[in-house]
């Protein structure tokens, strides 16, 4: 396998592998099984450690988690692995904001109180005295952004986190965060973790333009749209064929109660010719390079402007090896990038179409 490529984390001097290991699959938590997802989809501690071991062997040094993932189990599993490693060799990112205790009204959100409590809990589970990248999981409408960013700034000053990132925000929210940090002299946001794939490109309109202007690194999550871009799905696929896959999408298609942004319902794609056209192009390009559809899908993201590292999610060592094969040693041509861009194009609407017209005319 080709050597893994490393990029600077946003506008910092910290180097991270351009493939980041997402760990939402680490841990078995009973409440997640009620929606019909097979428990075998979640990894035990031993299985998770094998994934982490191999990721490190392949050159990966960037690991992403969240306190929400199986309510701390993912962080705890990383912690029991991390304590056996050279801590300085790994970049650990985690997130906060989701409610963590239904009996405590303040055990969620982005208030100063919750931020201070939450990071100590994450540090305890991760068995470390600092987090490299501490990220807000979403915009919290109940908390003034000045309070949130000031609290996060204090965490950097205290040495509990090295850098600050945000996730799942819209354009005006991201720009407001940036401006507040500038005006108040607070630690800047260095990354945006956002859903981004050939099937989800709307963040290109606003958020990624802010990232470009402000030198914020993009960390795409759900780069394969829950598995739709793996090449396992095809025209005319029946429910029984889906069930055989035992995948997240198979579960969400069978039970609408577990449909999420990262686990879409395949039935919504069965008559979507655009989706299958994208797959056709991916398969053609994959065959040319002797690569997989997964690797081409990830490679398209890795060659996009401002993308620092793509967050993958795996359940097997084979999936990890496949994903890591996109990191380095080959590239898509400009023509192939354009082909995939056109196949995945979306209606931008007004005023974006007007702005693009003015740019095209050089006005």
Task: Report the distance separating Cα 37 and Cα 46, nearest Å.
Answer: 21
Alpha-carbon Rg for the chain, nearest whole angstrom, is 20
Task: Report the distance separating Cα 215 and Cα 357, nearest Å.
Answer: 25
What are the structure tokens assigned to 325, written together?
């094969």
Report phi then psi at 2, rounded to 5: -65, 155
Report phi then psi at 12, rounded to 5: -125, 175
Q: Helix 334-343 and helix 273-289: axis angle, to 10°? A: 160
Task: Report the distance separating Cα 174 and Cα 145, nearest Å.
Answer: 11
Q: How many residues does the chain have?
A: 363
Active site residues: 69
Helix (H) / strand (E) containing 195: strand 189-195
**Do residues 315 and 27 touch, judged by C-beta distance below 8 A?**
no
**Do residues 18 and 5 touch, judged by C-beta distance below 8 A?**
yes
Longest CA span, the chain: 59
Q: Helix 293-302 and helix 317-324: axis angle, to 10°? A: 50
Both ends of the chain: CA-CA distance in Å? 47
**Do residues 134 and 192 touch, judged by C-beta distance below 8 A?**
no
Task: Report the distance separating Cα 69 and Cα 103, nearest Å.
Answer: 19
Q: Is 69 left (phi over 0), alpha (psi -120 to 50) or beta?
A: beta
Report phi then psi at 262, rounded to 5: -95, -10
What are the structure tokens assigned to 226, written together?
């829950």
User: Across-strand partners of 195?
Assistant: 221
């Amino acid at each position: 396998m080709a050597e893994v490529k490393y990029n600077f984390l946003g506008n910092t001097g910290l180097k991270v592998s351009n493939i980041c290991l997402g760990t939402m699959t680490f841990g078995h938590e009973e409440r997640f099984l009620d929606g019909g997802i097979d428990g075998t989809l979640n990894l035990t501690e031993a299985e998770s450690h094998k994934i982490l071991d191999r990721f490190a062997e392949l050159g990966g040094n960037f690991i992403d988690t969240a306190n929400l993932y199986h309510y701390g189990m993912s962080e705890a599993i990383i912690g029991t692995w991390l304590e056996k490693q050279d801590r300085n060799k790994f970049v650990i990112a985690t997130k906060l904001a989701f409610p963590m205790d239904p009996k405590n009204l303040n055990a969620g959100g982005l208030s100063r109180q919750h931020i201070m409590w939450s990071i100590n809990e994450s540090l305890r589970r991760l068995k470390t005295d600092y987090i490299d990248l501490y990220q807000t999981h979403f915009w919290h409408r109940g908390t003034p952004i000045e309070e949130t960013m000031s609290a996060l700034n204090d965490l950097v000053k205290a040495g509990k986190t090295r850098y600050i990132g945000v996730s799942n925000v819209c354009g005006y929210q991201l720009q407001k965060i940036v401006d507040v940090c500038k005006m108040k002299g607070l630690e800047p946001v260095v990354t945006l973790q956002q859903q981004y794939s050939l099937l989800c490109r709307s963040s290109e309109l606003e958020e990624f333009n802010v990232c470009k202007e402000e030198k914020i690194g993009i960390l795409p999550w759900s780069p394969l749209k829950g598995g739709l871009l793996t090449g396992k799905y095809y025209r005319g696929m029946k429910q029984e064929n889906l069930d055989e896959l035992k995948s997240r999408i198979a579960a969400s298609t069978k039970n609408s109660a577990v449909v999420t942004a990262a686990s879409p319902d395949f039935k919504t794609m069965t008559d979507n010719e655009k989706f299958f056209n994208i797959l056709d192009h991916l398969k053609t390009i994959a065959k040319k390079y002797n690569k997989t559809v997964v690797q081409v899908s990830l490679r398209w993201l890795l060659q996009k402007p401002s993308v620092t590292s793509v967050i993958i999610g795996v359940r097997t060592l084979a999936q990890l090896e496949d994903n890591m094969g996109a990191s380095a040693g080959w590239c898509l041509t400009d023509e192939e990038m354009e082909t995939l861009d056109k196949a995945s194009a979306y209606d931008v609407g007004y005023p974006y179409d007007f702005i693009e017209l003015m740019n095209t005319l050089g006005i």
